[in-house]
Structures are given as C-alpha cells and as structure tokens.
Structure 1
C-alpha cells in the first residue's frame, strides 16, 4: 500500500504541474501504426475470400450513441463477438463526419480497441463523410465483450470563446462502418462461455432472439424459465437491451440430425434461439447427442443446421432441474465452461452479485471513479462522473456532499471563469477561477443531497474558461494547457437516511425497486391474458430490471384469475383487461384510456374471454376484501390508531396466514404512517397539478406505465404496463426498455410513443413509504432529523405554540392559587 501523502509533500508536485500548464506544447498528429495501415500478414487467397462483414449498426446496441460534442470527449461503444473470431485478424472500417467549424491539424480522434491503441484519425473542415480502414492483427478482437473507444479532441476554426465550443461535433456513421473478420475460424462450434455474445449477435436475416416452447400451451413454469434466461443474457451483456420473443418450436419429421432432428431448420435459418423444457418435453426435438447428456441441470450451446443459427438448450430431467439450470444461467457470477455443454452440480451454485453503492462518510478519490488527471487547453472543460446510491435513499436530507477540488488554472483566462458542478442536470455549486492563475488545493464545494436520487446519479464538472479581454484570437496557437483537475480530488457523501418512497417510476427504472429489494415474500408478475405479446413484455421488463439492479429477479408468474397479488406485483395487459382490476385507484382514469385508445380499436385484438363480467369483478372485490380483513383492527382498537395499519404483515398468497417481520419494523412503520397522516406536506401528500397525459393536441401514446399502492396490502406496490391492444403492447415495451425512453420514466405514470420527445409523466398525488433494509435506531434518527431540518419553521412554530400554551396554563394555575390564598 502506498503511504499517505501529506499536503506539504504534494505541494512541489502541484507547483511543477502548474508550471507545466504555463508552458506551450504542440499537439502532434500521429499517423496510423503499421499494423493499422495494412493487415499484419498476407493471407492466402483461399483465406482472403473468407470475410465476414458486420455493420457497426448491427453490432452495437440499438440505443447506442455515436456522436461527441465540444472540445474533448470520450465515446465508448461496447459490442459482442462470437467464439469464431478467436485467433483471426480483422479490419475496422469507419465512416465519420464532423462540423465545418473544426480546425484541421489540431483536431483528431484516437481509436482504441479493448485498451489497445489502433491509431489517430484526423478531423477535417469538410461537410462530406470521411472513410478510414484500420487493420487489426489476430488477438485484437476477442470472443464476448469488446469495447471500441473514441478519444475526441477538436478546436474551433475561428472562435476563441466558450460559446464556440458548442458548434463542434463529430459522429460515426454506424450504417457505413463495419467490422470485417478475415480468414477461416479454427472451429465452427460455439462454446457456453460465449453464449450471451452468440445469442446477441445479429443474424443476417434480421431475426431477433427467440425463446422456443416445446409445447403449445405455455405454462407459468416456461414463462419463468424464459425470464431467467433473458436476464442471464442481459446481465452478461452489460447494458445492451434484450427483447426476446416467444414462439412455438417449428417441428418437422426427424431429418437424421444428431443435434436437432425435430426442428425445421428452413424456418429458423440463421436465427438465435433458446430451447427450454424437461428431457421428456424435448425428446421429439433434440437428437441422441443432447438427449443422452441431460443427466441433471443442463446447459448446452450448439449450431443449428448450416445457415449459421445457434440454439441454447436449457433442460433437466425434472422441472426443478430445469429451474436450477435457468437460475444458474441467470446469475452472472456463474462461470460457464469453454465447452459445448455442461451439467451443473451443487458446488457450481454461487452467490448473486450485490448492488455496489457509493461509500458513505469517507472521502473517495476521483481516481477510484475512473478519472485520470488531464491537462485541458480549450475553453470549456467537462468531466462526467457517476455515483450510485442505495435504492431506498431518502432525499429529504438538508446536509451536503463535499466535493474537495485539487486543481490548477493558468494565467490569462478571462473574467467569469468558473468550475461549475451539476448533479442530475441541476446546478449544485460553482468555484470561481482566478484570472492570475492559481494552485487550487483542498477547496470544498458543498453539493445539496436533495439533488441526488436513488440509484445512479450523474455529476458533471464543467469549467468555463473564456479568454482574457483583448487577448488575440489565434486558434492554431492556442495549445497551452489552461486548466487541470487532479485525480486526487475527492467526493464524500454524508450518512443519509434510508426510507423507500413510492410511487416513483424513476427509481424503478434506475434500480428496479421495489422488485429488486430482496424482500422475503418476493413479488408477483401477472399476465392478464397470457398472450405472446404479454410474455415478451414480461421477459423484456425482467431483463431490463435485472440490468438496473445488477442481479436477477425471480417473480412468481401467474395468469389473472388464479389469484389476486397480495404483495408487490408487476401487471401486464392491454387497457381493456385492466377493468378486471376492480377497486384499484389508478393515476389515470379508465375513461381517459377508453377515450384515447378505445375509439377505432379493432376488437379482434382482445379475445372474447377478456371482456370483464360483473360477476368476475365482484369476485375480485371479494378476494381483495378478504385479504384486507386479515389485518383489519378489532373492535377494541382505539379509533385514533385506525389509520395506522400494520405495514409489516406479509401475505404470500391468497388464503395463507400472514407473518409479522418484527415489532421494531412494525413500530417504525406506524410512526411513518402517523406522521404521514398528520403532516401530509412533510411526505409530499399535497396534490400537485397533473398534466393531461392524453391531451388532444399531443400525439396518442402507444404505451402507459403506472405505479400505485396495492389495494390489498398497504405500502406494497403494483406497477401496471398497458397499451391499446396486444400489438401496441409489444411495440410499446420494445421502445420502453431502450434509451432514451427508459431514462425518462418518472412520477406515478408515464406515456410514450414513436417520438421519444413525446414522453410525458405525471407526479403522484400522494406518496407512501416503507422500510426495506435499515431498521437501526440511527436510521430512524436520521429520518427524524431530516424532517425537522427540512421543515424547521413548522417545528419552531409548534415549539413556540407549546411554550405559549404552557405559559397560559401556568398563569391560570398561579391565578387560581393566589385566589385561594386570598380567601
């Protein structure tokens, strides 16, 4: 471990670094290295003909951005490659364009792959696109995850101002850029360790990921297995969106294939597929090679025919073994072997990953957040940072986070120069910079914790460095460093309260809460009609929630009519089926949904059995009332406590007895409920002015996501995904799980359509809270302290009123006493 460095010992280093800022340094434009200009070694004619070309638009995620702006920025493009790239050279072909205001000679971008530098590409002052070809020797591309990094640096042609930096940009053209794999693969057989990459690779036919069912009737077990596999793929791919769709396996007469004799390969072609079921269910599909290998929880990855298709087989001798195999695949910590298939033993089970949150109460260097000290010679310095807080972070905190700045600025910057800090897009603090140049040592900026939110938070450091008044504008000579932020600058967050607040679709999008909180009773995922579109939506949402939380979720799948969810639930169905949810107070009126989606809706999209009947609605109300009666107070309960219902009774399913967590959590929940009842403004109970989600002047949305408090168990949450019909439900969820739609979820209800700019949300009219993880007395003290500090005037007024009342009562007693003495 390196010994700690004192302030005095760092001072000479700071002075040397500051002196370097005052020196003028030219920025040479390097040329491509030799291996980037041509292939590393000539290939034989037969090998030169074996070229696999994949456009960058297909390799990268559909919501990947390819542009950069300003003077300096880094762009990361993750993509996945199959096992067949191992040991093969490749060629990276890039097409790009940039702003005409860019100054050639001093503007360029560096290309790196998996940390290996490929070379520098110049930026020109022309509007037409530019193409470049970079050769990569064998070993640069690897199976699985690869990362292409673009380090962009640009100067304005004529402007020397902060405003001029907003005119600079560069973007890659993904449809005209590609990766060409040369030579022949050493082996055509895929391996399990590359399963996620192989299944995420785009097919030439354009077919997406398909989860095949061996039987016509898809039961809850198959839906659950598909959700586990979708989460396993998504978690192994990082942030890449996964939208699998269910299909029955296309069967045919056995064709003699040793792997999949019962599958119609002409239908599947080069598609990416997952085949799930017990050994008996798959017996008519798989061949002897696979059937004989299923001797326990089984995973196997095999080629499909000769068209380039691939199939992941998840199986076992019993449904329990299939569940074990699917859940092992869902866990990203489970190591997958470099073989075609495997039997998972008990010792292969590993613990699930935990959500890594930012530490509290101690300073964390920016170097630990991935930042490296850099010298900046432009006019607007920007550096993004990300901080992840607990999913139940309570943001009524009056205390501050401390950003301790160690930096240096050069003389010659203009008036108004400052380093500004933004938290989640909101201004948080600013540090003026001296025009004479200075060494900034341990300068503290206080960031309000009220700007932070549960889950991922974005912090942006932006330094505006205008030129000094009267300074000559010579962009080609402006290469001297003007500002540097040192990586030993620190960020320290205070101890914060932990109390989950709902409804909040923003927290749901960032952390998956409350469905990823790890509560003992789990949650239900209810499909209102069990259509293929609802199943696909459930798988896509489960995969995205797992990515948000960093760990898989395992809901209880059910189809409406079998049971009423007693705890947390995620409900999916078209808007007509929502009428079955009798007694539910939705943030959007059913009449508004009918007015927006009911007119012109083809009734064929809604099966006849989905039409609600009065008897069915009455039955649902009866079930809800029966569940409510379990925790209803008895006749001898005090009237003052009737509103403080017990929040900590958990019902696993309809008709089961409840279980109490403990008296501490129950008492804590009663305190919150009581404060919520008597001080609604403290907990945001005041009704806000709502935005009309279905305003006539706005386009009709294709999807709606709502979050409400459970009508069965107080403080539990129901999240409802709906659309006009099943077809729009499928299209809506495919948009929702991608950026920027997913990042725009907020409030208690959000609607979206074809244009991301049309995404609209409404704030909740009331909120509710619950404790999920931290029942310590210190946490309760923090919550009370937060409330008192946020509403100090209310508490002060109450205290003065109490003192005045005490004085009046005392005066009355003293007056009575003097009267008695006089008598």
Structure 2
C-alpha cells in the first residue's frame, strides 16, 4: 500500500472517530440549530488606545441562562424597533458606585427583518461614547442573544449613556419604498447590564433611589406599604412622598401601588416603601430602627426575608412622618420662581432637552445631534426640545431650520428634505440641482401648528434618488460612497411667540403640569375613598405631574368635593361616587354615573339597533343639506386646511361626553363654577378600572397623547380618544406687554378666520368713512 493511500485511511479513521465522539457528547436527534448558525459573542479587548473585537461561539441557551437578580435592564419600553436604513436610540442608566464598579458585561437580544442584508448591515453598541461591540445584523429567524464584555472603568456612578445604532441595507431592492421594510427589533427583557448579585439590588442611601431601574418590560414600580391607609392623616404624607420618589427616579413609565401587607419579594425595577408610625410598622419589619419610636426616620433597612433592602419612612406619629417626607423632598424640589432651562433628561432619552421659551437660535450640536454622512436612500435623524406650558402660536407661528448639508452629484432632481414635528410633516424642500451642492444655512420654514407644551420631537429626513438605484445592479444597495451629509452646525431658530395659558388643556397638563406647576397655594385633592385602588391612582398621577412640572406640588386633601369651591383641584374616584356638579363642570354627561360600565341583558340588541339607526341616518343624509354640508366640510379640510369649527364668530360650548362602553378610564378637565379655577377629574366605572387605567395612561407613549378637555383610555387600543377644546379660557402667565398681546391676537384671529374677516370688513368700512371725510375736508368730492 502506498504512503498516500495510508495517509488517506488514517485521515478517514480520524474523521469517523471525531464524528462518533461528537454524537456521543450531546447531539440531539433532528437538531437543526446548526443550520441557523451559532450565537456570536464579541468581547472587546484593550489594545493600545483602541478596542478590538474577537468572535467567541457560545450556545444561545447559555447566554439566556442568567440570574434575574443580576440584570439592570436598559430599554424603558415593551419593545424597541430600529427602523430604516439608519437608526439609533440612546438610554440613560443610573448606577450606584457599587453597581458601576461591579458591572461586567452588556447583553442584548435582537431579531431583524428577513430582507436585511447581513453582509452590509451592522448593529453597534456604544456605552458612554465608547463602542463596546459591533456585529452584522443576521437574526431573521428568531431572537439572538449577544454579550459584550465591558472595559474596566467604563461605567461611572450616576447616569450612563447606552446607545444602540443600526445600519441596514436591503438584500435585493434599491427603491425608497423598500427602506420602510428594514428593521431590527431589540427585546427589552434580554437587553441588560450584568451586575454582581450582591450589589445589583442593594440600595443604601436616598441618592440610590435613582438606581431603582427597570423591569423586563420597561416598567418602574414603587410598592408603598401603608398599614394605616384608611386614616385621613396619612394621605398628605403619602401623596407628597410619591412625588418625591418620582422626582428622584424620573423614570418614564413609573407607577405606584399602595398595599397594606409587605410583599415577599420585589422584581426588577421595583422598590418597596413602608410608610407608617413605628407602632404599625414594627410587626411587619423586625429591623425597624429603634429611633423610629422617638424621632422621624427615612432610611433603607433589610427586608424580613431575602437579601433585598426596603425603604422606610416612619416616626412616632404622622406629623413627624410628614417632617421626614419634607426632609427628603425639599433638597430636590425646584422652588417657585426658578425657571427651568431644560426638561427632564431621563424622560425619553439620554440627551438634554432644552426648554425654548422665546426667540432662540441653537445649533443641532447643542441638541445632541452630530454630523453624519450617509450612503443610502432615506436618511433620518432628529432631536428633542421643550416648549413652555403657555405656548400659543399653533395657528400662525413658524420656526426656521437653517440647514447645513451637502449632497453628491449622483443625487437626482426630485429628491427632497422633509421636516417632521411630532410625527407630522411640517415642511419639504426639493433638491433641484443635478450636479450636487452644499446648503449653507438654507432657511427651511417649519410650521409650529404641531408643537405642544412639553417634549417635542423634530425629525429631519432626506429622500435621495439616483440613477444607480433605478438600475439596482447586484450589490448596489451595499455601496458605501456617501451621498448626503448633515452637519451639526445647522441651526434651529424659534421666533418670539405668544405666551398665554389656555384652559382646559390636557396637553399642557401632561407636558409641563400646567396649571398646577406654578401654583403657590396647595391644590385641593379629593379622593372618593381611601382604599388601595384610589390611593394608587392618586400617587401615580401626582408622581407623573411632579416629573412633568419639575417640582413637587403642594396638596391639601379634602373630605368633600363640594367644599373645594373656587380652587384648583384634582378629583379622583369612581364615576358613581362623584357629585353631578363635578361631572357637569368637566363636561361629562350626568347619566354616565349610572350607565357607564353597566352590563345589561339587551346590550347586543341595543348595539344592533344603534347600527341600524346609523345606517338609516347615513342613507337619509346622502341627499339632504346635512350631507352636502358634510361634503363641504371635508372639501375645505382636504383642500384649504380649514375646519368648520374655525368658521365661527364666537366659540361654542363643549358637548357633554358620555364615555362609551369600550372606554375604561378618563381624564377630564374643566372650570370651577365661577370659571376662576381648574378642576381635573380622573374616573372609571370601578376601582379596578381606575387603577388599571391610570397605570396604562402613566406609560410615557400614552401620557404624551393627553390632549383636549377629555381623554379616554380603552382596553383594546393603544391610542387615547381625545376631544378637542371649543371654548378656551385664557390665563395670564406673563407680564402684560403690547408685543405679547399683539401675538396673542394674531394667533386667535388665525384660529377664528370668520371673526378675522368680520374685523377686516369693519376696519375697511371705517377706513372708507375716514378717507371720505378727509377728502370732503380738503374740498374734494372724489
């Protein structure tokens, strides 16, 4: 036998032995996991001044099997989509010194659209402006788990910025339409920092409350154990404490649950807070400090079971407890008269959100945007800014974007740059030059009709068409030659706009806490009963108001809604327990107290009767004046952007609202009987719906939808049902000046064009009479 033949036999024997050994080790019958490809874990290594990445193949299940107690979740939402050819999101993560020093790695679970080309699409993870990992986007068949080790010293105590950035390219298509099919989904439950178990959940001081973190679905929850919740003396301290805790945490989806018993465990993103006198808390908490029987205490102590900490606010009596609460809240509270320059940085992302109160010019760099070069077809980036509660320029105001950008010669005419405000198109600039060009402070007018008090999102989108994309040769979608560049020297300029408060206005309530944010006197708070559902609703609502206002609000509980009088008030309770006066002032139909949520035997027949009636009504209206008016209204709105409601001399009254059976919770706002104060009502058919509805509305996406004078929440939809305001009461928020009043008048007349036309006609007649008299005075008849 030849040497070559012997070598071949030896190689065959070795291969067979290796195959048998692999099969005996752990092969699973019909296991196709190898076809999907193994999970790739990338670990950055320190090498000189940069970081290199090496691939380490690990089983996917091993990456998932991690102790839940060691996870610090990052994404404050149920899901996160990175959409389009380029996308990115940044999130703040607050860590204690122990957590920052002990964190070892960051993990993420992701999946992507099947049309994403993995060879030219990348997903990067950046922590505190240092890239800790990069990988191809290649998980179209399911969620893949990736882990990156963190360099020592990268994380710091306090706020850390974690960013996820994606670049997508289509496998086969080069059209603009195909860019909307590109996405990467991050799973919040599988995206977290790994922290040692002995430091992950142990909070030691009140400063550590900001490190409460998130749950796997982006929730933050305070469980407040109050054995004496039925006593009126506890309400004020409880509501004040909830605002202080909310201001310390400043998480976007935080809620409060009031309970009588101490829970056995606390999940991720939860903090247990015990509030009560020393005599009431001693049976629940053996580790209660002995000083609580003689003086007020506010500190962390060990829980009766487990290795977690619970926060205790106690004292010999309720006045001392209120003193302890005030000692916590006062250092973080913003005094009245101190103007905010920025909204909370932890509401939406990790960047500053400056508050623009008038004529201002700021570069995109000051908003956190950066210079970007782009080689694809649809580029999109944006920034956030804040608008004050008394903003009143939605009918005539225009901001200006001074654009610094460039595009290559291959970009064809027909391409355009679009500006969006809160998801609504505000301006479009076409690209007409065939030979490329550079924009130097190109002014783009941006209508302010879609601005709202509080946080606002401005997006810049460039739609780029080229001849190469029309041909779409193989590999064309992966070309990296830049076509477009946006420079952070671009400026956003807001004019001086009218400033006057408008009531009712739930948009200003959710955005900045108006009208309660600047109130000196305590707000009247009425709770129909002191049970877990009502107290939880009140604590959650006041916590959201505190974060929106940037300060803790002073409240005064009231035993009777009728004793409130002409004071700003918040009223919370089931609809059957609220007085008819309260319902009437907030434009809720009185019959809703008995009909809303009631289950009747003939409900199905009633719904069928209603559908039949609506059908006949539409058939009759087709040839009637009502149908023609409806068609005219639609034509005016679509063609001239004019609504029938603006064609009025004087505003009409708000129509009473009867909540539909699909709604479970509402927030309504109206005037007091003498129209000198504002009442805000939170109600639902039952206590369970009251607490559940407030928990749903407290989530940041829904909280930002509050608008009009009534917003209704439904179990079946994510969007709130809002009712626009017809009759507005103006409230002075600025010193009287002619310039501001002129802008107020301009916006009011722009909103009421029929009144503007009447004023114009009257002034024209007066001008004609004056001109005629002047001509006669000089002896001329014509």
Q: TM-score range by the shorter chain?
A: 0.7 to 0.9
Aligned with 1:33: secondary structure? strand
Larger mean CA deviation between 145-154 and 781-790 belongs to 781-790
Of 668, 674, 683, which residue of structure 2 is paired with 1:706?
668
CA distance in 2, matches of 1:809, 1:479: 74
Q: Which residue of 2 aligns with 1:345?
A: none
Q: Aligned partners of 1:800 and 1:537: how far apart in 2?
A: 56
Counterpart CA distance in 2 for 1:145 and 1:749 is: 36
Output aligned runs, 1:457-606, within 5 Å: 457-468=456-467, 471-473=471-473, 474-475=475-476, 477-516=478-517, 518-560=518-560, 563-581=563-581, 584-592=584-592, 594-599=594-599
Residue 222 of structure 1 corresponds to: 234
Alpha-carbon spacing, 1:207–1:471, altered in 2? closer, same or farther (3 Å): closer
2: distance between equivalents of 1:103 and 1:691?
A: 51
- How do 1:651-670 residues align onto structure 2 when only pairs under 5 Å count? none
Q: Which secondary structure state, in structure 1, belongs to the residue aligned with residue 332 of structure 2?
A: coil
Q: Is the 8 A contact 2:229 2:235 kept in 1?
A: no
Structure 1 window deviating more from structure 2 (152-161 vs 784-793): it is 784-793
Which of these residues, 701, 709, 725, is aligned with residue 740 of structure 1? 701
Structure 2 match to 1:163: 177
* Superimposed CA distance per residue, residues 708-753 of structure 1 (whole angstroms, 9 cap, x where no aligned partner): 1111x41421111111111111111111111332222221111112
Q: Which residue of 1 aligns with 2:68?
A: 53
Q: Which residue of 80, 96, 100 corresponds with 2:110?
A: 96
Deviations 1:93-140 (A, max 9, x none): 322110111112211111123433211021127433322222235544
Alpha-carbon distance between aligned partners in 1 of 2:721 and 2:288, rounded to the nearest angstrom: 53
Q: Distance in 2 between matches of 1:269 and 1:89?
A: 19
State the Cα deviation string for residues 64-111 of structure 1 (Å, max 9, x = none): 542110011112344455665353243333221101111122111111
1:349-360 pair list within 5 angstroms: 354=340, 356=342, 357-360=355-358
- How big is the shift at 1:180? 3.5
Matched residue SS, 1:63 = coil
Indicate how the Cα distance of structure 1 residues 55 and 508 shifts in structure 2: closer, same or farther if over 3 A, else same. farther
How far is 1:190 from its partner? 2.4
For the pair 1:247 / 2:262, whether they are aligned, the reply is no
Alpha-carbon distance change, 722 to 480 in structure 1, aligned in 2, over 3 angstroms? same
Once the 2 structures are TM-superposed, how far is the Cα of residue 360 of structure 1 from its aligned partner?
2.8
Q: CA deviation at 1:453?
A: 2.4
- Cα distance in structure 1, aligned partners of 2:598 and 2:160: 47
Q: Distance in 1 between matches of 2:533 and 2:467?
A: 61
Shift of residue 511, structure 1, vs aligned partner: 1.5
User: What is the match of residue 377 of structure 2?
Assistant: 379
* CA separation of 1:521 and 1:297: change in aligned 2, threshold 3 A: same
- TM-fit CA distance, 1:693: 5.0
- Matched residue, 1:388: 386
Q: Say which of 221, 226, 230 aligns to 1:213.
A: 226
- Contact between 1:102 and 1:123, CA under 8 Å: does it hold in 2? yes
Q: How is 1:746-765 mapped onto 2 (pairs within 5 angstroms)?
A: 746-757=707-718, 759-765=720-726
Q: Residue 452 of structure 1 aligns to a residue in which SS?
A: coil
TM-score, normalised via structure 1 length: 0.72
Gap change, CA 1:331 and 1:443, over 3 Å in 2 = farther
> Is contact 1:377-1:481 (8 Å) kept?
yes
Whose strand fraction is larger, Structure 1's or Structure 2's? 2
Structure 2 match to 1:33:
44
In structure 1, list runs of 5 or more residues that go unmatched. 1-28, 40-49, 251-264, 336-348, 602-678, 816-823
Contact 1:524 1:569 in 2 (8 A): yes
2:256–2:536 CA contact under 8 A, matched in 1? yes
Query: How far has the Cα of 1:477 moved from its partner?
Result: 4.7
Deviations 1:790-817 (A, max 9, x none): 65533321112334566899999999xx
| 2-structure distance, mates of 1:246, 1:532 | 5
Aligned match of 1:638 = none
Alpha-carbon spacing, 1:331–1:149, altered in 2? closer, same or farther (3 Å): farther
Q: In structure 2, what is the Cα distance between the partners aligned to 1:353 and 1:195?
A: 25
Q: Secondary structure at the match of 1:240?
A: coil
Cα contact 2:74–2:191 (8 A) shared by 1:
no
In 1: Cα distance, 2:503 partner to 2:106 partner = 48
Aligned to 1:450, the other structure's residue is in SS state coil
For the aligned residue pairs, the C-alpha RMSD in angstroms reads 4.0
Q: In 2 relative to 1, CA 566–60 (structure 1 residues): closer, same or farther, beyond 3 Å?
A: farther
Q: Does the residue aligned with 2:370 lie in a helix, a strand or coil?
A: coil
Task: Choose 316-325 or 210-219, whichever is displaced more.
Answer: 316-325
Is the 2:214–2:220 Cα contact (8 Å) retained in structure 1?
no
Check the 8 A contact 1:234/1:241 in 2, yes or no: no
TM-score under structure 2 length normalisation: 0.75
Tell me the residue number matched to 2:25.
Answer: none
Q: Counterparts in 2 of 1:30-179, with a 5 A limit? A: 32-34=43-45, 52-54=67-69, 59-60=73-74, 63-80=77-94, 84-124=98-138, 126-141=140-155, 145-179=159-193
Deviation at 1:497, TM superposition (A): 1.3
Structure 2 unaligned segments of length 5 or more: list them.
1-39, 55-64, 343-354, 602-644
1:181 corresponds in structure 2 to 195
Whole-Å separation in 2 of the counterparts to 1:116 and 1:772: 44
> Is the contact between residue 302 and residue 311 of structure 1 (CA under 8 Å) also seen in structure 2?
yes
Q: Which moved more, 1:768-777 or 1:149-158?
A: 768-777
Equivalent residue, structure 2, for 1:793: 757
Label 1:61 to 1:360 Cα distance change in 2 as closer, same or farther (>3 A). same
Partner residue in 1 for 2:618: none
- In structure 2, distance between residues paired with 1:809 and 1:378: 68
Contact 2:221 2:271 in 1 (8 A): yes
Question: Per the alignment, in what secondary structure is the counterpart of residue 376 of structure 2?
Answer: coil
Three-state SS of the structure 2 residue aligned to 1:541 is helix
Query: Which residue in 2 is equivalent to 1:451?
Result: 450
Q: Secondary structure at the match of 2:539?
A: helix
| Equivalent pair of 1:298/1:316 in contact (CA under 8 Å) | yes
C-alpha contact (below 8 Å) 2:70/2:197 kept by paired residues: no
1:685 to 2:671 alignment: no
Partner of 1:322: 321
